[in-house]
Structure 1
Amino acid sequence: MSRTYLITGAASGIGKATAAGLKEQGHTVIGADLKDADIVVDLATPDGRAHLVQQADELSGGRLDAVIAGAGLAGFDPRAVSVNYFGAVATLEGLRPCCPPVQPRVPSSSPRSPPSTLTTRPSPTRRSAVTRKRRWPPLRRRSTGERAMRSTARPRPPSPDGYAAPP
């Protein structure tokens, strides 16, 4: 079954590799980046983010199966925050109406139990992995050799003149 994906940051790096892999599998990929993409847009600006949502809606026909927010900049720069955070949030919020509704899922704590749906309260009969007490392994006894090595690795007392004794 062919799906339609939107990938931001699709002109280079992980976004480019992801787009190539999805195209290889026969999926439709809409790429968004500063250059060499289906949607040429700058996610650092509010106008660019709005333009991305509008163009993606038009190119996908109002239906996207997944959005991969892969655009990002490295470094401590206000522009990096604009792209990495605000660009991703605006992309996901703006394109949410284009994506099909899904039932939220949470991973189960056991590989054999069926996946459970997300609820507002955990079931009283089953404690989650977060509330379960951690059982630490028992402390192991050190062997005679380990104890002997530990006892010889003590710091030497200082010399009478106040400096540490030479080794």
Structure 2
Amino acid sequence: MKYLREPQMMDSAFEAQQKHKYTLRNSNAAQRIDKLKTLKACIESYEEKIYAALQSDLRKSRFESALTELIFIYSEIGFAIHNLNSWMKPKRAGKTISNLFAKNRICYEPKGCCLIIAPWNYPFQLLMSPLISAIAAGNCAILKPSELSPATSSVIAADQGLF
């Protein structure tokens, strides 16, 4: 993740995501689960820095940060990993007179590129939670952390290998 300060940088980031969405669209459940596990490992490795950033930005104690920010993220990653295979399976659809002899299925497909904008009051949880859903759905995402929580934003931008 890079800080995008100029409009040209934002345009180039969006174009890169638009090109990358076609490879993500064809990803299977195992690849998406691997990405979610990588995200969880990254969050775990930066946990102390996240606590310090939330203390700096919002004066949240370690207990409050864990309770309101990180526990939700870990449980959501676990929930997505546990249910991803069933979410990706095509579902049977009802038949009508016009398609009585057809095999009707609802197939879920990724939407493409998502913009995730975080508010200032829960800067980590409300940025990562939609990111988990976007990864599970096979979408790529552009993250916009809140400018009112600069320490948390810099921690999120620290691991450029993942984002």
- When normalised by structure 2's length, the TM-score is 0.22
Higher RCO structure, 1 or 2 (CA under 8 Å, sep 6+): 2
- When normalised by structure 1's length, the TM-score is 0.21
> Which of the pair is proportionally richer in helix?
2
